[in-house]
Amino acid sequence: MKKSNVYTRTGDAGQTSLVSGTRVDKCDCRIDAYGTIDELNSSLGVVLSFESQTSDEAATIIRFIQHRLFSLGAYLADDRKIESCYVTADDIARIEAAIDEIDAQLPPLRQFLLPAGCQAAAAAHMARTIARRAERLMVGLSKSVEIKPEALKFVNRISDLMFVVARQCNIKNGVDEIFWSKDC
């Protein structure tokens, strides 16, 4: 069996194909949305690369999310009307349970934090901001295309999770959290 080429040359003129085969510009809002989901998934891989700095519970939920994000990207890349977005209320509940479990281990937060700390925490903060951007792009896309509410909720919860994961990483690794000061 011949190995397929990684490159196809079909996108050289600035267009790509959706799942249906429809050709669209690479700057299309649908491409922007699922491309950012892909970027988010990759950024979660960076968080996981700092294995010794993350907890087992964080790594487990992040791996679960990565699988769902791949499916969510496929959903966003499909311009046909499909019923399933591959993300369920149970998936959202699973992330919420992980947030609650991790947050229960953290000291109360009474000030804003700067996105900093150990490598895993900094990577988690990057993932958090990418999740926020993905959510904004999906909301924009939802103005012209139906997006299942579960898809938006799922991405919103990822940003919340990454915030508590970043805090957990810093605490686990003995790195002080840096609180925002308006006087700096």
Q: For the segment 42-74, what is each residue's pLDDT rounded down to a tens digit?
A: 999 999 999 999 999 999 999 999 999 999 999
Percentage with pLDDT > 90 across the chain = 72
Nearest alpha carbon to residue 127 among 115, 109, 144: 115
Residue 182 lies in a domain: no
Residue 40 lies in a domain: yes
pTM surpassing 0.95? Answer: no
- The number of folded domains in the chain is 1
Residue 74: domain span? 25-172
Q: Which CATH number characterizes residue 109's domain?
A: 1.20.1200.10
Residue 19 lies in a domain: no
Residue 18 lies in a domain: no
Q: Where are the beta strands (DSSP E) in the chain?
A: 15-17, 23-25
Report the distance separating Cα 89 and Cα 168, nearest Å.
25
